[in-house]
Amino acid sequence: MSAFIDGSVFLSKERRKKLDHLSDTRATVLGYTVTFLKLKEPEYGYRYAFLLQHMGGSEETWYVSESPFYQDQFPEGLPPGLEYLALWKKGADGKPDKRMQTYCELNDLFNVIIKRMHPATVVAACRDAMLSYRSERRDAAQMQTFDLPKDSPIGYIGLIDANPFDDHIVASMVDDMRYWPELLAACGYKVAADAAARYIPVTDDPATILEKHVRAQKKKGIRDFYINLIGHGDSGGVHFSYKKEGETYHTVLTSGKLFALFDAHQDCAFTVSTVACQGGGYATAMKRYKDPSGKEGRITIFLQTKGHGLNQEGRLKGREGVNGAPKAHSTYYGVFFTKEILQGKGGYGAAHLRADEASRMIIPSDPEVWRSGKSGGTVTGRLQRGATSILFTRL
């Protein structure tokens, strides 16, 4: 397969024009002087950077790029409505340390019109990126040992967007779903994926569909479930679209509906995976969720984005897709995860950690994994940061 395009230095002409206007902006906050620089010469592909100088004498450089987008994602002539800058920390060796990264909306960092920086946002984002990395290192041991059960059957349920708009970005995600049960089975998991449940174009309430198939598989003695959700998303849930009698409809699997399923089947364990942007809002819900079963870790949710994050579909070098854009294929994380779990070096959690490490080298990435508990959910690892939106076809 063709190699992925490196999206870590992506910066559009439109964004460069705005950043040129903002160069040499400076502001002070919390003991920091923050300067936005246009570099005299590109460094490792980066043309812009934030310089954070602390009153104590220390300083940090954070290179700036952009969350990648392509012309096949937007109607012709319509510029992107989402302007996200990615920040990458310069390491002690002078090279970008892509393990420490974050991104923010341009308008959260600057008032572009009056050329004024919001330095507190810059400092907070950089601090959060460093804390996130430290947290990830602490949590790595826990994720390293996480695995799906291999001594009992796993009921697999896959929900996909019915794709009435012929959205090729969504289609590249849906292709993953088609063979995911075989992928898991090849890795030694006892996947029970009947034809009715493995690949379901959602044309009704998704919560009702899930309830139906959980009940059906429980009658066969299954108590462990893997739910795979392929659809656009935002903080309100994972979205699905479909056509019925010539009309287009949208339906949403909200966190409330999903967690009602968990409550209704407290004798079952659930692993949920989704490509949805902003994680469908499930991270916030998991943090609040106090599992009435009293069992620790009964529910594990793998999110390819944080609660404010945008996911990014994979882009292949040398392969032309729609409107001259590079061909879309899966997500960056999805392809790396597939490779890692098939290699068999450890279980599901270990494959996740290696896929995380690989994907963040070439895109702004930092998803999350959440596990339930009787006192509330906890985040156990970081994944890939990226976005889906009903308006913008960015998974």
Mean pLDDT to the nearest integer, 236-259: 93
- 110, β-bridge pairs: 117
Token pair listed for 198: 């493995």
Q: What is the greatest pairwise CA distance in the chain?
A: 67
Q: Are residues 126 and 252 in the same domain?
A: no
Which CATH number is 377's domain given?
A: 3.40.50.1460
Percent of the chain scored above 70 by pLDDT?
91
**Alpha helical stretches, state H, the chain:** 13-22, 106-109, 119-144, 168-186, 206-218, 255-264, 282-288, 332-343, 348-359
Could you tell me how far CA 78 lies from the centroid of its own chain?
25
Lowest mean pLDDT across 80-84, 106-110, 128-132, 156-160: 80-84
Token pair listed for 131: 């804390």
Residue 41 inside a domain? The answer is: yes
The pTM is what? 0.87
For residue 264, what pLDDT is reported? 99
Residue 216 inside a domain? The answer is: yes
Number of domains making up the chain: 2
Q: Are residues 319 and 265 in the same domain?
A: yes
Sheet hosting strand 84-90, strand order edge to edge = 26-29, 32-43, 46-54, 59-66, 84-90, 96-105
Could you tell me how far CA 366 lies from the centroid of its own chain?
7
Residue 395 inside a domain? The answer is: no
Token pair listed for 277: 């942007």
Residue 281 inside a domain? The answer is: yes
Residue 289 inside a domain? The answer is: yes
Residue 351 inside a domain? The answer is: yes
More confident residue, 395 or 85: 85
Range of the domain at 267: 145-382
Mean pLDDT to the nearest integer, 333-340: 92
Q: Are residues 118 and 157 in the same domain?
A: no
Of 72, 106, 138, which residue constitutes the final position of a domain? 138
Q: Are residues 107 and 179 in the same domain?
A: no
Q: Are residues 91 and 173 in the same domain?
A: no
Q: Are residues 95 and 210 in the same domain?
A: no
Q: Are residues 246 and 321 in the same domain?
A: yes
Q: Are residues 110 and 202 in the same domain?
A: no
CA–CA distance, 237 with 224 (Å, rounded to integer): 23
Q: Are residues 285 and 304 in the same domain?
A: yes
Of 104, 138, 172, which residue constitutes the final position of a domain? 138
CA–CA distance, 334 with 291 (Å, rounded to integer): 29
pLDDT tens by residue, 63-107: 999 988 776 665 444 455 568 899 999 999 999 999 899 888 899
- 237, β-bridge pairs: 234
Residue 392 inside a domain? The answer is: no
Q: What is the DSSP letter of 2?
A: P
Residue 390 inside a domain? The answer is: no
Of 103, 122, 138, which residue constitutes the final position of a domain? 138
